[in-house]
Amino acid sequence: MVQGSLTKFAWLSIAAAIATIALKATAYYITGSVGLLSDALESVVNLVAASMALAMLVVAARPPDEMHAFGYSKAEYFSTGLEGALILLAAAGIAWAAIPRLITPRALEQVGIGLAVSILAAILNFVVARLLLAAADRYRSITLEADAHHLMTDVWTSVGVVVGVGVVFLTGLNRLDPIIAIIVAINILWTGVKLLRRSVLGLLDATLPAAEHGAIQQVLSHYELQGIHYHALRTRYAGRRSFISFHVLVPGDWSVQRGHDLLEQVERDVRAAVPGAHVFTHLEPIGDPAALQDIALDRADDKHEP
């Protein structure tokens, strides 16, 4: 059900990209504005990114198997990384197109019709971006979130271009048109850098956001008041999935059943604090010195160290 919902939004993004490319290309053809051309080039990036997002969402939805026991959730980061890289490429293309026009300005034509077409494209992108943001929040999808932020960047780009081209038409300052295009390039360059950073952090197993990490510690602190301790808390996220692991220390004279029942309750409470999380626990006796040494991610036996 989740896969079908996510791919539905990806198809919506693809359709919006195709429609806005047609509208913005028409606006550029009518006016000859390099600022509007830069806006159209960004929509081409949207189309490629949305197509990649669709493919990665299908891959990420695959169930775990023997070769990928933790699932395919990280596939979403490839989509996000590609989108960030494409945004950087689009920024370079916009600057390449704008610089010659800055050197040799050219008057714009039929500005009114061109701007009307561009405004229609911006409204379409805004509506789709809001839908994608809502879906990204509901399903915790970094792919839809990246696509939505990219579309919102496109919206603000279009707004800036429309205002700038209007000023060019009213004042006759034709060099302002390529200057607007260069400003657009700088703006989307920053968006691309942020998306690439988000993708890299996900692939490097960054910890959960501070709010979720704090919620986990709050649950575990409640048990510490009852004399139950914990350590080696580790968290990471992969696309829509969150992974949480920690050790629980109990009195050494507890039965296995009693310790097991406690872990079941602790895991339920943590999953309630972080919905959808995969929780892994390890039971240890409080009085065992080895329990205090079993904190590092990779436990090594010093006697076998080279």
**Which CATH number does the domain housing residue 278 bear?**
3.30.70.1350
Q: Of 187, 203, 219, at which residue does a domain stop?
A: 203
Q: CA-to-CA distance for 176 and 267, rounded, in angstroms?
A: 60
| Residue 132, CB-side half-sphere exposure with 13 Å CA sphere | 29
Residues 84 and 36 in one domain: yes
pLDDT given for residue 304 in this prediction: 45
32 — alpha (psi -120 to 50), left (phi > 0) or beta?
Answer: left
CA–centroid distance for 34 within its chain: 30
3-state secondary structure of 281: strand
Which of 203, 220, 243 is the last residue before a domain boundary? 203
Structure tokens at 34: 């390099």
**pLDDT attached to residue 196:** 80
User: Domain check: are 176 and 236 in the same one?
Assistant: no
pLDDT at 260: 94
pTM: 0.58
89 lies in the same domain as 42: yes
What is the model's pLDDT at position 107? 66
pLDDT for 4 equals 52
DSSP state of 286: T
Residues 9 and 107 in one domain: yes
Measure Cα distances from 90 to 40, 56, 110, 122, 197 in Å. Answer: 10, 21, 26, 18, 18
Q: How far is CA 147 from the centre of its chain?
A: 8
pLDDT at position 305, please? Answer: 47
Distance CA 116, CA 26 (A): 11
With 0-12 CB in 10 A as exposed, 13-18 as middle and 19+ as buried, what is 302?
Answer: exposed
> Left, alpha or beta for 205 (phi > 0: left; psi -120 to 50: alpha)?
left
Task: Give the mean pLDDT per block of 10 residues along the chain (306 residues).
Answer: 66 88 84 75 77 77 75 72 76 75 71 81 90 82 76 78 78 78 78 77 78 90 88 80 89 91 94 88 83 62 47
Q: Which two tokens stand for residue 187?
A: 């703006």
